[in-house]
Structure formats: structure tokens, C-alpha cells
Chain A
Amino acid sequence: MSAGRQAGEQLTQQPPGEATGRSGPSRRRLLTGAGLFGAGAVAGGLAGYFTGSPDDSPGAAPGTQTIPFYGAHQAGIITPAQDRLAFGTMNVVPGASRADLRDLLRAWTGAAAQMAAGQLVGEESEANAPPVDTGEAVGSPVSRLTMTIGYGPALFDDRFGLAARKPAALADLPPLPNENLDPGYTGGDLCIQACSDNPLVAFHAVRNLARIGMGVVAHNWMELGFGRTSTTSTAQATPRNLLGFKDGTRNIKAEQADLQNRHVWVGQETDQPWLRGGSYLVARKIRMFVENWDRDYLADQEKVIGRAKVSGAPLSGGSEFSTPDFARTGADGQPAIPADAHIRLASPEHNGGIHILRRGYSFTDGIDPQAGTLLGGLFFIAFMKNPSQFVRLQTALAGDALNEYIHHTGSAVFACPPGLRPGQHWGDALFS
């Protein structure tokens, strides 16, 4: 029995060598989690919850596919983009210590590994104890759940003795064009990106990790994505964003290892060895003024983007995956892809060869309380070797024709550590 208060009492002795005499409510609650999920004490093979089956098992029932939690890189980056997102950022609460944080990361690792394998968090609960797992995903197929962790710039301030571990490239983004950031959707000490083809499973992951973290971390802001807008594998069809256009046609794909090494994975260039094999995550909440967009005539919409709406082909001709010919002019002598078209200004050709791995989702927060219009757009997520890649691209988009219809309202940047081997925990490398 390892659930509830009894488990907490029992596990205050564990993990070996870590109980260094600190006590107090938050410490004790945390160790409950650490005992449950840390130190490899994962109770495998629990029956009846959201069922997993081995990755790529042929003939697996829909939704039962699992994505390996362990690997050289964290899952959820080049994993073929799942359909749904739950993205939570959290701040470490005042008074929490370095040890609290380290223990939480260990506890999270265990819980995340369980959930990724299609198991529920912890063991079955006692009648007189609150259920360990919140339970809403029971019976839902695991649907390729991944959880990706990131550390925000503020985590490396003087609270946890991590200042010397701060990567030089990790800093809040500078002011960028076409943004008016809502502090309520900006920054965060930590982030969890949970992706799954099942919305409930993704939400469940963030909810349960946050619950385990109570007393150490608290919610900062959260966003749910209801439709992927990027393709991260050549095996996937290109989805459409809320503008009705295909998005991510030229994205970096899982199959392009060379592009990943050059543009996505942190390598030898970093000043922080713990981050090698990791990546930077830039999140931007981008509101789309969809009513205004919907009133624009088709030919103009296509000029704004630089692609045909239905086929996705660049206006320079060909089919969706034809390389845009930015030099081509139309019969009228004007560039076929206009000078201020979105795909021109965002292209590697226009930005010194820079690529980023986009992994965004459509979102809605309901209705704008003031205007009564739809409050939604693109929750943009991208992974890159250095956040300066995003800064360069967004700066280049200052003259984007699309700016008439979109506005950046939230922003955050996180350093995502590399993947783990079984037995390793998030934070081990950071705190060692």
C-alpha cells in the first residue's frame, strides 16, 4: 500500500540517502510523491486504466499506441505531432527549496513514465483516502501521450542555487513586433507540454503532475490546443490552422536528422553540458481576428499567406510541397509570392537559412468578453537550438501582411533538457 497518508508516513524514509533531516508540510507531501514515483518504484502492469501497448505494435487498436518515455531526446518534440495539447506552466511557490524542487522533478519523472506507458498514477486507492490518480482518463486509450518538461529563465535566479547552471541563451524574449503581452499568459518557472491524440489524456497528465507538485509549484497559466497545426513527420498530412490554410508544410520533419542537428537539438555550442541533446521551447499565444479574416476575399487571403488556400501550393506554382520560387514574377511584373507574404518573410531563404521545428495547436478561450468575438487562434510552440532563431524570424515578420489579422498576446521560453535513460530523473543532470 503506497497511497495516501499511510504511504506518506512510510515513505518518509525514502529514497535512501535523500532524507536529510528536513521536515515540514511541503517536504512531507513532496516525499509522498517521490516515494510513489521516484527511485524506480513504479508499479507497472496495473490493469484497467488507459491502456497502452508497445510502440508501433502492428495491428494495435486505435489509440492504444504508446510513445517511449525514455530516449536520447525527450518525447514530444520530433514525435509525430499528436492531435491535442495541454500546456501548463507553473511557478515554484515561495518557500520551496532546492531539495523540494529536485524531489518534485524525480516524482514527476516517475508519474510521467507511468502515464506515458498507459498506466494510471500510483496504485489503486483506499476507500478512506483521496484517489491517487484523479481518474478522468480511466478507460481512455493512451493515444500516444507524451510529456515534455522545460525550465524557464526565472528558475535560474537565486532561489535554488541554479544561477551557475543557467544557459547563456536562456532569457526572456526581447520586445518583438506585433505583440501586446498579457502577463497572465507570459513566462513561468517550469512548463509541461502534454500531447496526445485524446484531449482528456493530455489534460489528465498536466492536472496530475500539477497535483503532485502542490506545495512546491503552483499553476501559472495553461492552454489547451484542440487541433494540431503542424506536421512533424512526412507520414502526416498537413493540417489547417484557423485561417483555413495548411500550416507547417515546410516544417522540419522527424525524418530530417540533419536539419534537427543543425536547428533543433542543443549541441556542443552550449555553455551548459546538462542541456546537450535538449532543445529550447518558445511558446507564443497568437490571437487571430478570425471575423476580419473571414471577410477578406479569397485572392487576398492567398496573397497574405503566399499559398493557394485549397491546395496549399505556393503562389509561384506547383503543388503543396513545391519549393516556393520567391523570385518568380507574375504576368503583371509583380512577385508571384508578394513581398509581404507570410511564407516569404518566414522562410529560411529570407532568414539566413534558419529553420525551427513548429509544433503549434489551434486554441480557443471562448469569447472576447469585451467585443463578443471569437477569442482564439494559434498556440504556437516551436523547438530550436537557440531562442535567437525565433527572435530573428519574428523580427523579420514585422512587415508580414498577416499582422493585420493576428496579434501575439502571450510568450514564454523554456530550456528542455535531453531525454532520460531508465533510472534517470528529470533534474538529475541539472542538480548534480
Chain B
Amino acid sequence: MILPDDAPTLLMDNVQYRWPGQASFGLHVPNLTLAPAETVLLLGESGSGKSTLLSLICGTVQPQSGRVSVAGTDIAEMSAGKRDRFRAEQIGLIFQQFNLLPYASVQDNILLPLQFAPQRRDRVASLTDEVTRLCQNLGLPKDVMTERAGTLSVGQQQRVAAARALIGTPPLIIADEPTSSLDAATQATFLELLFAQSQTHGTTLLMVSHDARLSTQFDRVIQMADIAQTTRDDA
């Protein structure tokens, strides 16, 4: 396990968030730190604030107080436009399902984040070669690149989503229950591939799941209840 000796990939410090229109409800994250190349499994029940936590990390919602720092940069101090670009540069995202643009080709889906992240794009010498390499490493068929994403199986779509998150080697990958729609065999292969890629490029992986059985495969397992509290003011 790699301990967070250096500058952490993610640091959340005393973050307070209140949902718009529901001022009495809030989420409080006293501290969450992820080290470079660390793989972390975040377990939590539905309604425990996981999605809000991910939105805070990605900068699509803003905390009322506290600090959210990704790769050493406090995203709260950025303008909305800079946050969007920063997200594209620094974070690779994999959703639970319906992850891809179904009408676009596999290659276009994988290259999509690079449209909004010029520095990440500069890290890729040859776009086509990199897409091919990622597809091969993730076990996708060779001729899949020109296929429309909507024609692929669910398992293949999740691998394409993983390739899209990995391209340009962002320092942080967030995966929101990426294996929930996969069968057990595909789930294991998918995680294996994701870990291998993460290890190769020193990428930090934060994966959200309900499934505690995955715990053994990660460097660290944290419970949502241990790092964050949902608050309710009676006033």
C-alpha cells in the first residue's frame, strides 16, 4: 500500500455542503485524503451522499466552506469554466451505466475528454495508437474502434468507458459503481484491467460501490459513514 507521503491526489478538508432549496440538509466531510497511485473503495448506502461527494470532487457543485484540492490545486478558487477544464485535465470518470454516447464511435467516445483537455491531449503522442493500445489492454476486439458504442455489449461499453477515463493518464480516476451491471466473471476481469492500468500510470483510483466483497482488491476501504455525515438542522 502506498502511503500519502507526497502531495495527495485528493484532499477534502472540513467541507460543508448544503443542497440547493434544502437548506436544512447538508453533507459534512471533515477529512478525506487519497495518495497518488492509491486504490480506494468507498462503500455506502443509497442516500448517504456518495453522488454529492463525487460532484464536489469533480467541481460540478461548490461547497459552502472547506477545501477540495485535486492534484494540489484548490478547485473552489477557480471560476466555473476553469473548473470544467480542470476536471477534464485531471479526472477520468466512469459511470455506472449509460456511460457512452451511443451514436458515436468507440474511438470518438474514448477521445471525447481530450477535446476539452489540451494538456491531457498533449500527453498522448498518437491518438489512434493510444486508443488502439488501450482497447487491446482492456481486452476489446481489434476492430471495435469504428463501431458505434450503442452496438456493444454492456461489458464492452464499460471497458470503453474505462479507456476513456484512462486516456491521457489523468492523476485521478473516479468510478461510480462501474461493475454493478456486469456479471461476476466480467466484473473480475474489468477490475483487473483497471488496476493494471492504474498501477502502470500511477493513477489514483476512487471507486464507489455497494458491494463489500470487492474490499480485498483495494489498497484501502472507507465507509461513507466514516468520512462524511449528512446533517439535518431542526431549526
The answer to whether A binds B is no
